[in-house]
Amino acid sequence: MKSFYFIYFMATWHNFCFRDIIKTKTAHLTQKGEQHMKPVKILVVDDEANICQNIKKILSKKNYEVTTALNAEEALEKLARDSFALLISDIVMPGKNGLELLKLAKQQWPLTKAMIMTAYASTDTAMKSIRLGALDYIPKPFTPDELRTKVGQALSGELSEARASDAEKDLIDVIDLDAPFEAKEVEKATDENYVKMLGRSDMPVVEVKLPSTLPNYCAVGTMVCDIFKKLGATCKAGTKSGECPQKKAKKTAAKPDGADVRRLVGIDQPFIYDEVVSITGPEYARQLGREGVAYLPYEELKKNMAARLRADSARIDVDIPFDRSEVEKAVGADYAVSLSRSDVSVVEVKVSESMPNYCQMGSMVCDIFKKLGATCKAGTKSGECPQLKAKKTKTAASAPAKDESRWIGPDLPFEVDEVAAAAGPDYVKHLYMEDRVVMPYEELKKNMTARLSPQAAVQAGLQQHVGQMRVLVIDDEVAVNNNIRKILAKKGYEIEQATSKAEALEKMQVGTYGLVILDLKMPGVKGLELLAALRERQPAARVVIVTGYASIDTAVEGARMGAVGYVPKPFTPVELRLAADKAVRLAA
């Protein structure tokens, strides 16, 4: 018993003596481990330098090591040189946009996590970002806490990357959001440099480097200012009033004294009366009216007009200012009298009397017209002379019909063989029509067939999959449900419908579907629970969300859960068919 107490006493004493030493050692080891722990590296990409710097300040407070890039090309270079745990990229940038950068980054560095931020948030780009591999989609503007929270969730593993096939990612390869052309196609038609310069406005972006700030440059006056330098790069008067005091003083000094309106000639002639008199004379100024028009006394005006009219009457015409008497002396009185307003002499032609049996319908003397008693019932009824009509028909029948398919072109109605016989086959091959080289029809047909063969094969394959695919339309609005059925049925889809949660779950339990058109807002459905149930029961089915309550959050979460399309209501038939066809291509 004594030995037991002795052992207990020694153990307690040992723990008490060495407790502080153990704590100090443990704390030292922990601190040493933290010092050796490498900071997490984050790459921020945005074409606005101030945004990059703001994000760097926000994340640096959490001890993240932040590197910035102003475009996609710079970001790719930095990704190739160093290893980053997280990529945060803007979408709208000159050259490659954020979605193209995201795709390239995930292809070459799949372990690098990614997030997208944008001031042009939309459900379309949100879906594309998540399906391309982004962990989250952050609309601008955002608060520092929101950004830190999102980054923390991405790095801690709380957010998982959506599973998307390479085929699906290839379908999202676009130059720009409003220019849906593949970069490779545009590069073949133009060149690589043009594609790199394409921006959001679909016009080449030319980078203009702004000059560095000049010394003693004042932002208030937008100029280099000596006073600004003397005051120590401050301008209290300008800052207070919002206007440069030097420019304000110049405006005040340059302002002329106001003219005396009582001494002006008129409201619409703001000239001082004395100045006008000194230049033109008192007679001119005295005859000026208040409307700025010179006037004469009535008697003088009457006399002048009479003389002018006499002179005009003596002239032949307005644009032939010759006196009639002068013309008579040169050419004779008969010629002068026959001249008209058109400057051409008028020749009088006497019309002969109506000829017997003259038919107005055919504009000729007609024996049939005589036999019918000066009437032509057939011509009056049709508005055309039956004799002339018969002659035209006979002439047309005798002429051989032209084969339009053998013409060179619509505005060159000549047969290829005839022109080739007259001018040679080389000449025909190089004929131009509306700035385009025209080739023979058979050669054109052969080229078009070869060009359309790959597209026709793809379309045929797509149509085959459409015919074999069962589609389930889930929407509680019967009218919308029926419209979706009619739109897709025209493309050959086999459609089944469900108008409630229970009916949809029952159909998914019994049948297998390749495509599901899903409405989000339905009675008895909370959030995306129906989408979750669908993905659990039929993971191979492609889901296209249609909703009248579109939002960035539902688009992001839907994409994470496997939806391949997101169509806001109201939608057009073309928009719905495109979303369905995309899902079919992925399923194929």
Among the residues of 424-566, which ranges form H helices?
Answer: 425-429, 441-468, 478-489, 501-510, 529-537, 552-560
Does 379 have pLDDT greater than 70? yes
Q: Which residues contact 103 (CB under 8 A, 6 or more apart)?
A: 132, 133, 169, 172, 173
User: What predicted TM-score, i.e. pTM, was given to this entire model?
Assistant: 0.49
Q: Which of 33-37, 41-45, 405-409, 555-559 has the lowest mean pLDDT?
A: 33-37
Percent of the chain beyond pLDDT 70?
66
What pLDDT shows up at residue 321? 63
**Do both 48 and 103 map to the same domain?**
yes
Does 486 have pLDDT greater than 80? yes
| Last residue of one domain, picked from the residues 254, 276, 304 | 254
Structure tokens at 334: 């008969």
Q: Does 73 map to a domain?
A: yes
**Do both 56 and 138 map to the same domain?**
yes
Closest CA to 98 of 64, 134, 67: 134
Q: When comparing pLDDT for 571 and 453, which is higher? A: 571
Place of tokens 């085929």: 167
Domain residues for the domain of 365 are: 358-398
Q: Which of 6-10, 220-224, 238-242 has the lowest mean pLDDT?
A: 6-10
What pLDDT shows up at residue 55? 93
Per-residue pLDDT tens over the stretch 144-170: 999 999 999 999 989 888 888 888 888
Q: Does 327 map to a domain?
A: no
Per-residue pLDDT tens over the stretch 323-371: 777 777 877 777 776 666 555 555 565 655 667 777 777 777 787 777 7
Task: Give the separation between CA 587 and CA 508, rounded to whole angstroms.
Answer: 18
Other C-beta atoms lying within 10 Å of the C-beta of residue 414: 15
Residue 367 Cα to chain centre, angstroms: 71
Task: Give the separation between CA 116 and CA 91, rounded to whole angstroms.
Answer: 7
| Last residue of one domain, picked from the residues 227, 254, 281 | 254
If one counts the domains in the chain, the total is: 4
What pLDDT shows up at residue 238? 73
Place of tokens 């100029």: 223
Per-residue pLDDT tens over the stretch 111-125: 999 999 998 888 888
Per-residue pLDDT tens over the stretch 277-328: 777 777 777 666 545 455 555 667 677 777 777 766 666 655 566 777 777 7
| Last residue of one domain, picked from the residues 173, 189, 209 | 173
Q: Exposed, middle or buried, 308 (CB in 10 Å: 0-12/13-18/19+)?
A: exposed
**Do both 392 and 462 map to the same domain?**
no
Q: When comparing pLDDT for 440 and 65, which is higher? A: 65
Q: What CATH number has the domain bearing residue 542?
A: 3.40.50.2300
**Do both 129 and 54 map to the same domain?**
yes
Cα–Cα separations (whole angstroms), residue 59 to 68, 72, 143, 149, 502? 12, 21, 12, 10, 47
Question: Left (φ > 0), alpha (ψ -120 to 50) or beta: where does 566 sit?
Answer: beta
Q: Exposed, middle or buried, 546 (CB in 10 Å: 0-12/13-18/19+)?
A: buried
Does 510 have pLDDT greater than 90? no
- The dihedral formed by the CA atoms of 146, 148, 153 and 157, expressed in degrees to the nearest 10: 160
Structure tokens at 493: 């889809």
Percent of the chain beyond pLDDT 90?
21
Q: Does 319 map to a domain?
A: no
Give me the residues paired with residue 509 across strands: none
**Do both 168 and 223 map to the same domain?**
no
Check whether the bond before 523 is cis (ω within 30° of 0). no
Structure tokens at 382: 């049709």
What pLDDT shows up at residue 467? 53
Does 246 have pLDDT greater than 90? no
DSSP secondary structure letters along 130-172:
HHHT-SEEEESS--HHHHHHHHHHHHHTSS-PPP--HHHHHTT
Per-residue pLDDT tens over the stretch 185-202: 667 777 777 666 655 444
Contact 33, 74 (CB under 8 A): no
**Do both 222 and 154 map to the same domain?**
no
Cα–Cα separations (whole angstroms), residue 97 to 71, 118, 172? 8, 11, 12
**Do both 150 and 225 map to the same domain?**
no
Task: Give the separation between CA 134 and CA 152, rounded to whole angstroms.
Answer: 15
DSSP secondary structure letters along 187-213:
HHHS-HHHHHHB-TTSSBPPP-PPPPP
**Do both 383 and 472 map to the same domain?**
no
Task: Give the separation between CA 486 and CA 478, rounded to whole angstroms.
Answer: 12
**Do both 568 and 478 map to the same domain?**
yes
Does 218 have pLDDT greater than 60? yes
Contact 545, 566 (CB under 8 A): yes
Does 180 have pLDDT greater than 60? no
